[in-house]
Amino acid sequence: MKIPFTKMHGLGNNYIYIDLFHTELPEERLSELAVKMSNPNTGIGSDGMILIHPAEKAEVGMRIFNKDGSEGMNCGNGLRCTAKYVYETGIVNTKEFSIQTKANVVHAIVKVNGDKEVEEVTIDMGEPILQREQIPMLGEAETTVINEPFQVADETLYVTAVSMGNPHVVTMVDAIDNAPLTTLGPIIEKDERFPEGVNAEFIEVVSEEELHFRVWERGSGITEACGTGACAAVVAATLNNKVSKGKKIVVHLAGGDLFIEWKEDDHIWMTGGAETIASGIFYA
């Protein structure tokens, strides 16, 4: 099987994009293909595979598969890359349109230069989910998890849990370079208190308008960036009175910066770049 693909990245968070408006893939092989394509030695190499497809509730649909073959619910960097792809290839012909994921439908706005190339994308990521049951996290169903003690291995972290369509648990640290990303990240990801797994974020509050951020992503491990995680980080910092609602916060990820604003109507807006790396044919 010959599969046309485009490889794109948002701040280094890179996926293989398959255009299902023009290509067909067998449903039963999607997880297998994600694993094969993501392998850097025998495949293309990526954080996973994203399918761009027709949707019932939006102009465009997006499905996310992590590099371990599991299917994700949402991906902020993937949304920006999808927006860039569908505008530049003519699947959509307006600068504002909607994208449907398994989690929800979001609104996208593309900023375009004179060559009709998308330079920047803004996404309305919707409202954060804070109830424990909906994240999901075990415990008293309708409570929130804000700066709550969380025993993991031999350490006690203080965590804030947020869902952005996918689950995140955020820990504030004094220095981002000392965050226990590689030691505790994989343990937190599979902690039994999160029945669907969780993305583990560590943030350092630099100022009232600036955060440092690192992430261990569910199903992918360490990645250069996580858009939904950056949104969750700003929500967590706000709930812990470190930053304020209604202000644009710059989040410094390993791959670059995102600008996140949790507006007074509770919607979170994310702005950042998206880049095309390569395109070609994958032989499956």
The CA–CA distances, whole Å, from 65 to 47, 82, 83 equal: 9, 14, 18
CA distance 167 to 195: 10
Annotated active-site residue 226? The verdict is yes
Strands 210-217 and 268-272: unpaired
- 115 contacts: CB under 8 Å, gap ≥ 6: none
> What is the rounded CA–CA span in Å between residue 50 and residue 283?
17
231 catalytically annotated: no
Distance CA 220, CA 189 (A): 10
Q: How many angstroms separate the CA atoms of 205 and 174, rounded?
A: 8
b/e code 140-163 from CB counts within 10 Å (16+ = b): eeeeebeebebebeeeebebbbbb
Closest by Cα among 265, 277, 266, 269 to 251: 269
> Which one from 83, 226, 231, 249 is the annotated catalytic residue?
226
* Active-site choice (34, 75, 99, 121): 75
Instruction: List active site positions.
Output: 75, 226
